[in-house]
């Protein structure tokens, strides 16, 4: 088929959303879907390599570049990869359930305790409101409006040495007179005291008529590669008023930070910026709707996120993050007016982004360390954020070392045949009967399953290992008395749910390729931890006193199973705690306390970054960890013992049977 030389307007209709978009012939179908607001998964960012954006062409014609991701059967059934298809005529396109991103991400509660949340800070928000009644100007005292206000703030509230935003001067004369010289001033502290002797300079950012102290809110956000979480904070009461979560709309342009950076390198940075700003704006609207709080009553916005997410959000080209030696633009980014980035808040609102450590140890990790109070205790802590990058930190109040492990997206369901994020229909619970090797599964929301999320994958792999369906090298035993282990494309697979039990009318399986991905991911994280701990002359088993697990699946992860596959070190289970979204926790607590703001800056400075990608010890540790749980069984004595015991039981069982 040749290309049309003349471009025409055609209409693409998407089902089951029932939305239409008009595009020119030749348009990319994935882009058309994104523009139409249809939420498609596209893990690889449109490179054609992940096969997650499959759609069914029900009517009309496309020109498709066929890749190995499309089976003959699929091709005959008019299944196409949207990213590989050009629109030629009017189309009707059906988006199957497994290609859809659903908004109903389950929000998970943090289970932080006194040991894993920063303590000792005073409730003293970055944002403050001060009410003043000013004396009316007279001919004897006709100081300027601003002088009068500053004098009032000094006399009444001991505020001095302020920086004043020009926008405040602009609205001051009218506001003062309209409110009969009774006004509320908003100040924000963004800079941290560079020296103890220097005083903190509050910045006067807003002026409101009358006593507006009752309406005193701010926003805290975590911008993740996959999801964006926001909280509306009541700064009078130190409470979360509303909470919202949504997929980062950038996800349609690539699943991990590397594919996002690659997209930016092709000139896509403004598009990605608009995408994430759109997500943020959607969450803000949702928070306001839920709480009934007015947009103008929000006075501040604190955002934590990984370095790539923050740079894209701010329009700072992230390309050097990907190129050795991996330098970010800045570790401390000056506060900017949020509306200049397209974020729909009042023009007085500054966007504070968390200080970061390095290109791959971002403000999200720093926020997590501060929020969890790792820097406050002598306890030697291993902090692990199980996301796409797999960032880890080891240390205590004296020192902190950090690294990104490039674990890959396996624990978020990426690169896994039936992997998916932890949303409704994702299998997360898994148990297997050691006798007949039949599974018992549980999916989020109690629905029929449509895929497997990260915690489910860990449970499945551990379960299969324990009953001997999978060997310690990650390969299936093929001589077992079960139909569930069967040959598949490129290796064996285990059927977790038969097609009839699923939403997708296909068998949900875990393949040897999936297991290989998982082993590589867990090996990277374990080797990373080992490398950091060893670098300070310690060992994981002897010295780690606490493990704090942050991340999307956080509290639903089974620690025992994580240790079984060698993801976590084999130390007493009571040393583990989940804190859920550590990044959001840090953003919130810092919004509540300038003490923690100072800490955030200090922690960013004191944390030493390890570039594992070029570290010889890491490579050695990584190769040694490519086994279940590890090539060195002495690293995992309890797992060794358990597996030996289970093996013995099974032999006994089989003998008994």
180 binds its own copies (CB under 8 A): no
3-state SS, residue 635: helix
Between CA 406 and CA 618 the distance in angstroms is: 12
334 binds its own copies (CB under 8 A): yes
- Segment (H or E) for 232: strand 227-234
3-state DSSP helix/strand/coil % of the chain, to nearest 5: 35, 25, 40
Residue from 359, 388, 564, 593 in contact with its own copies (CB under 8 A): 359
Phi then psi dihedrals of residue 304, to 5 deg: -115, 145
Stretch that binds its own copies, among 8-16, 21-29, 315-323, 459-467 (CB under 8 A): 315-323
Sheet holding 426-432, edge to edge: 439-443, 426-432, 451-452
> What pairing do the DSSP bridges indicate for beta strands 85-87 and 62-64?
antiparallel
Q: Write out the binding residues for its own copies, residues 14-33 only, by CB under 8 A.
A: none
336 binds its own copies (CB under 8 A): yes
**Total residues at the site for its own copies (CB under 8 A)?**
54
26 or 342: CB nearest its own copies: 342
Stretch that binds its own copies, among 142-150, 479-487, 516-524, 560-568 (CB under 8 A): 142-150
Query: Quick one: residue 474, left, alpha or beta (phi over 0 = left, psi -120 to 50 = alpha)?
Result: left
What is the per-residue burial (b if ≥16 Cβ within 10 Å, else e) of 542-573? eebebbbbbbbbbebbbbebbbbbbbbbbbee
Q: How far is the CB of 386 from its own copies (least distance, A)?
A: 24
Between CA 70 and CA 100 the distance in angstroms is: 18
Residue from 127, 275, 280, 316 in contact with its own copies (CB under 8 A): 316
Residue from 17, 598, 611, 617 in contact with its own copies (CB under 8 A): 611
Q: How far is the CB of 220 from its own copies (least distance, A)?
A: 21
The tokens describing 432, both together, are: 């297997």
358 binds its own copies (CB under 8 A): yes
Q: How far is the CB of 56 from its own copies (least distance, A)?
A: 43
Residue from 47, 97, 169, 646 in contact with its own copies (CB under 8 A): 169
173 binds its own copies (CB under 8 A): yes
Residue from 60, 282, 315, 342 in contact with its own copies (CB under 8 A): 315
Q: How far is the CB of 612 from its own copies (least distance, A)?
A: 11
Between CA 261 and CA 22 the distance in angstroms is: 29
The tokens describing 231, both together, are: 């909280």
131 binds its own copies (CB under 8 A): no
606 binds its own copies (CB under 8 A): no
Residue from 50, 164, 189, 343 in contact with its own copies (CB under 8 A): 164
Cα atoms in the 13 Å half-sphere on the side-chain side of 487 = 1
Asked if residue 299 lies in contact with residue 218, where contact means CB atoms within 8 angstroms, the answer is: yes
Asked if residue 579 lies in contact with residue 371, where contact means CB atoms within 8 angstroms, the answer is: yes
Lay out the site mask for its own copies across 191-220 (x = CB under 8 A, - = otherwise): x--xx-xxx---------------------
What is the per-residue burial (b if ≥16 Cβ within 10 Å, else e) of 227-266? bbbbbbbbbeeeeebbbbbbbbbbbbbbbbbbbbbbbbee
145 binds its own copies (CB under 8 A): yes
142 binds its own copies (CB under 8 A): yes
Q: Give Dmax over CA atoms of the chain in angstroms.
A: 105
147 binds its own copies (CB under 8 A): yes
331 binds its own copies (CB under 8 A): yes
Q: What is the CA radius of gyration of the chain?
A: 27
**Interacting residues toward its own copies by CB under 8 A:** 137-139, 141-148, 160-161, 163-166, 169-170, 172-174, 177, 191, 194-195, 197-199, 314-317, 319-320, 324-336, 356, 358-359, 609, 611, 614
């Amino acid at each position: 088929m040749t290309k049309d030389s003349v471009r025409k307007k055609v209409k693409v209709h998407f089902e089951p959303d029932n939305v239409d978009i008009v595009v020119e012939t030749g348009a990319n179908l994935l882009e058309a879907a994104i523009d139409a607001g249809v939420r498609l998964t596209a893990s690889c960012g449109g490179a054609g390599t992940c096969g997650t954006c499959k759609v069914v062409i029900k009517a009309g014609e496309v020109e498709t570049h066929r890749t190995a991701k499309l089976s003959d059967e699929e091709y005959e059934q008019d299944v196409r990869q949207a990213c590989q298809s050009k629109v030629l005529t009017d189309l009707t396109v059906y988006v199957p359930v497994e290609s859809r991103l659903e908004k109903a991400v389950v929000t998970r509660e943090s289970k932080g305790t006194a040991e894993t949340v920063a303590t000792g800070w005073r409730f003293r928000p970055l944002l403050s409101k001060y009410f003043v009644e000013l004396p009316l100007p007279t001919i004897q005292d006709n100081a300027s409006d601003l002088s009068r206000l500053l004098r009032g703030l000094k006399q009444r509230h001991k505020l001095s040495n302020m920086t004043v935003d020009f926008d405040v001067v602009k609205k001051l004369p009218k506001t003062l007179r309209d409110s009969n010289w009774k006004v509320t001033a908003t100040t924000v502290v963004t800079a941290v005291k560079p020296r103890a002797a220097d005083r903190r300079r509050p910045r006067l950012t807003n002026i409101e008529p009358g006593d507006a102290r009752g309406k005193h809110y701010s926003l805290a956000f975590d911008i993740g590669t996959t999801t964006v979480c926001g909280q509306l904070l009541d700064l009078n009461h130190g409470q979360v008023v509303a909470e919202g979560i949504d997929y980062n709309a950038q996800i349609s342009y690539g699943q991990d930070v590397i594919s996002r950076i690659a997209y930016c390198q092709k000139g896509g940075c403004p598009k990605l910026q608009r995408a994430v700003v759109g997500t943020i704006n959607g969450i803000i609207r949702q928070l306001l709707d839920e709480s009934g709080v007015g947009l103008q009553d929000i006075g501040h916005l604190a955002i934590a996120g990984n370095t790539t997410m923050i740079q894209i959000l701010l329009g700072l080209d992230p390309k050097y993050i990907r190129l050795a030696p991996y330098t970010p633009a800045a570790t401390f980014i000056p506060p900017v007016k949020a509306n200049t980035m397209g974020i729909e808040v009042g023009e007085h609102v500054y966007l504070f982004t968390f200080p970061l450590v390095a290109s791959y140890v971002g403000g999200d990790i720093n926020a997590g360390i501060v929020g969890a109070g790792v820097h406050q205790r002598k306890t030697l802590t291993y902090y692990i954020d199980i996301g796409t990058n797999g960032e880890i930190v080891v240390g205590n109040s004296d020192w902190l070392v950090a690294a990104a492990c490039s674990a890959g997206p396996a624990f978020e369901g990426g690169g896994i045949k039936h992997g998916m994020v932890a949303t409704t229909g994702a299998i997360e619970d898994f148990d297997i009967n050691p006798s007949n090797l039949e599974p018992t599964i549980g999916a989020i929301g109690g629905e029929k399953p449509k895929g497997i999320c990260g915690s489910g994958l860990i449970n499945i792999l551990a379960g299969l290992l324990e009953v001997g369906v999978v060997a310690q090298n990650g390969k299936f035993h093929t001589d077992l008395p079960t139909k569930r282990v069967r040959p598949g494309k490129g290796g064996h697979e285990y059927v977790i749910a038969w097609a009839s039990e699923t939403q997708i009318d296909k068998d949900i399986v875990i393949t040897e390729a999936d297991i290989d991905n998982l082993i590589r991911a867990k090996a990277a994280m374990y080797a990373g931890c080992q490398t950091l701990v060893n670098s300070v002359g310690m060992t994981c088993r002897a010295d780690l006193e606490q493990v704090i697990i942050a991340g999307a699946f956080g509290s639903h992860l089974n620690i025992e199973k994580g240790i079984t596959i060698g993801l976590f070190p084999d130390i007493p289970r009571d040393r583990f705690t989940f804190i859920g979204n550590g990044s959001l926790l840090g953003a919130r607590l810092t919004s509540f306390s300038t003490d923690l703001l100072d800490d955030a800056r200090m922690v960013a400075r004191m944390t030493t970054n390890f570039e594992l990608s070029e570290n010889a010890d890491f490579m050695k540790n990584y190769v040694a960890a490519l086994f279940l749980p590890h090539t060195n069984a002495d690293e995992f004595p309890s797992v060794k013992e358990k597996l030996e015991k289970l093996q013995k039981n099974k032999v006994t069982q089989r003998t008994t049977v």
